[in-house]
Amino acid sequence: MKRFIWDFRGRDGHRTAEHHSEHLTGFAEIHGIPSGSYKKGVVQENEFHTYSFLEVDEEFEQKVIGLLRPQRIEDGS
């Protein structure tokens, strides 16, 4: 499972990352990714850097890369 990451910076970064995370749920629903096949969340690194992430089963990884264009990709949990 890969972790797809979108970074948000600045004082409003955390709020923006949380909003973005809600859209990731909508993306999964629209594109038929079952709820047990993905995990999403928000991580606050510091007061000026927060990121939202989406982890999906391997069969959905190319869909996320092609449609959402994550800023970073890391090994997930």
Domain regions of the chain by residue span:
2-72
Residue 77 in this model has a pLDDT that exceeds 90: no
Looking at residue 3, what is its pLDDT? 97
Is the pTM higher than 0.85? The answer reads: yes
- Per-residue tokens: 73: 């990709």
Encode burial over 4-34: b for 16+ CB neighbours within 10 A, e otherwise: bbbebeeeebbebbeebbeebeebbeeeebe
Question: What CA–CA distance (Å, rounded) separates 62 from 2?
Answer: 11
Q: Model confidence over 21-76: pLDDT tens digits?
A: 999 999 999 999 999 999 999 999 999 999 999 999 999 999 999 999 999 999 97
Cα atoms in the 13 Å half-sphere on the side-chain side of 74: 10
The 3-state DSSP class for residue 16 equals helix
Looking at residue 76, what is its pLDDT? 74
